Each structure stands twice: as C-alpha cells, then as structure tokens.
Amino acid sequence: MVFWNIFFNPNHNNKKSNQKLNIEKVLLIKNFSQNNKIINIYLSINNEVNLYDLEKLCDAVGWVRRPLKKVKTALENSFLIISIFCYINNKKKLIGFARATSDNSFNATIWDVVIHPDFQGLGLGKVLMNQIIKQLRLYDISTITLFADPQVIKFYRHLGFLIDPDGVKGMFWYPL
C-alpha cells in the first residue's frame, strides 16, 4: 500500500477566491488489497456526490437516515466537499466523505465526516480531515469547528481540535 503526498495548487498565493477548487481525483492508495481484489483509492474535491451513494455510506456506519431532499440542499450549500472512493468491478464506490460550510471569510464548520467500516483503520479519516483543513486554510479561514460524538473526540484531538478551551460558548436551539 502506497500513500501519495497530496499537494494541491502549489502556486496558490493564499488570496481569497470565489471559485471553489474542483479536483476530480488524486490517487491516495495504490494497489490496496480488499476481499482478494486489488483496488486504488482516490480523493476528490468537488460537489458531485451521488445522493444514493452517500446514503449507502451513511447506512454502513449506522447513521439515522435523513430526507434526501434536505441532504441535496445541504450539499448544494456546502462550501467544500471532499470524498474518497474506489472502483470495484468498474463501479465507483464512495468510501469516505466530509463537507464544510463557511461564511467565506473567518469561520467554517466541518460536517458529516464518515469512512466506510470496511476501510476504517487505514488512515483515510486522517487524510480526509487533513485535506479539508488544508483546503479551508487556503481560503484563509482561521476558525474551524466541528461537532463530535463522544466516541470520536480522541480522533479529533489527535488532529489538533480542542474542546472549547475557554468554556462553553456554543449554544443550540431545537424546536420543541
């Protein structure tokens, strides 16, 4: 298994841009063996994620189903979408996903970070998170937040995320 270094847009001058990055695919792992098959694993930065493939991925990790219409709207309004996929029998399979929303200036929030259970433990979650942070920083976004279930807090801490060090600042409103 070979991990490839990913260097997107090396000539980037760190100025803000209204044009989102669109990288179709970058090879992450070459010749990965899974179920007696050799596959390549790719990373993509674009908004072209199949809703049904995303639903299958979320089902695989046991997430509660969300209305597809709302998921479609969430994707359309995302600032950044990163996916990880492979081809099995010439069919593209989504195996990782994350997205971010942003005010396009100061703040971004990362949402829906997921890696298919068959591909967990390979470092793909770390690659996914490092890449989404790197892309947000290219837009000079300095405050990056996320919400984490208790069982994954340790994972995010290893990536440099802190539980609000100044005390609880976040508040939530939910319909009754």
Question: What mean pLDDT value characterizes the chain?
Answer: 85
Mean pLDDT, to the nearest integer, of 69-84? 96
- pLDDT at residue number 16: 38
| Strands 80-88, 91-102: pairing kind | antiparallel
Tell me the per-residue pLDDT of 78-115, one tens digit each, with 9 for 90 and over.
999 999 999 988 899 999 999 999 999 999 999 999 99
Helix 68-76 and helix 51-60, axial crossing angle in degrees, nearest 10: 110
pLDDT tens-digit map of 109-154: 999 999 999 999 999 999 999 999 999 999 999 999 998 888 899 9
pLDDT at 18 over 70: no
Query: Rounded to an integer, what is the distance from CA 56 to the centroid of its chain?
Result: 16
Q: Is 156 a catalytic residue?
A: yes
Taking CA atoms, 108 is separated from 62, 105, 130, 132, in Å, by: 26, 9, 14, 10
pLDDT for the residue 19: 46
The pLDDT score that the predictor gives to residue 1 is 34
In the chain, the domains with their CATH numbers are 2-158 (3.40.630.30)
Q: What pLDDT sits at residue 21?
A: 58
- What pLDDT, on the 0 to 100 scale, is given for residue 9? 36
**Catalytic member of 42, 52, 156, 174:** 156
Confidence of residue 20 (pLDDT cuts 50, 70, 90): low
Contacts 24+ apart (CB under 8 A), 59-66: 60/116, 60/117, 60/118, 61/114, 61/115, 61/116, 61/117, 63/114
- pTM over 0.75? The answer is yes
pLDDT at residue 74 greater than cutoff 90? yes
Strand residue runs (E) in the chain: 2-3, 23-34, 37-45, 80-88, 91-102, 107-115, 143-146
Name the pairing type of β-strands 107-115 and 143-146: parallel
The gap from C-alpha 15 to its chain's centroid, in whole angstroms, comes to: 23
